[in-house]
Amino acid sequence: MGVGFPPKEQARQIERLKQGRSVMDLVSEDARRLQRELGAGDRDKLD
């Protein structure tokens, strides 16, 4: 986990896991965040 992510993001992910969050929770949160950041054309490609 964390491969390709900047150290700050890796630290955030580790902290969330320490709080008892599952890896799937982390993936789901990251996917929702990415959806908000992408343009409409890129969101369509993901769907």
Render pLDDT for 12-45 as a digit per residue (tens, 0 to 9).
888 888 988 888 888 888 888 888 888 888 877 8
pTM as predicted: 0.51
Domain count of the fold of the chain: 1
Whether residue 1 lies inside any domain: the answer is: no
Residue 25: count of CB within 10 angstroms of its CB? 13
Task: Decide: 13 and 26 in contact? Cβ < 8 Å.
Answer: yes
Task: Decide: 33 and 26 in contact? Cβ < 8 Å.
Answer: no
CA dist 25 and 20 (Å) reads 10
Whether residue 37 lies inside any domain: the answer is: yes
Question: Per-residue confidence at 47, pLDDT binned at 50, 70, 90?
Answer: low
Of 24, 26, 4, nearest in space to 14 by CA: 26
Residue 43 or residue 9, greater confidence = 9
Whether residue 35 lies inside any domain: the answer is: yes
Question: What is the pLDDT at residue 25?
Answer: 87
Residue 34 or residue 46, greater confidence = 34
Expressed as residue numbers, the domain containing 14 is 7-46
Whether residue 17 lies inside any domain: the answer is: yes
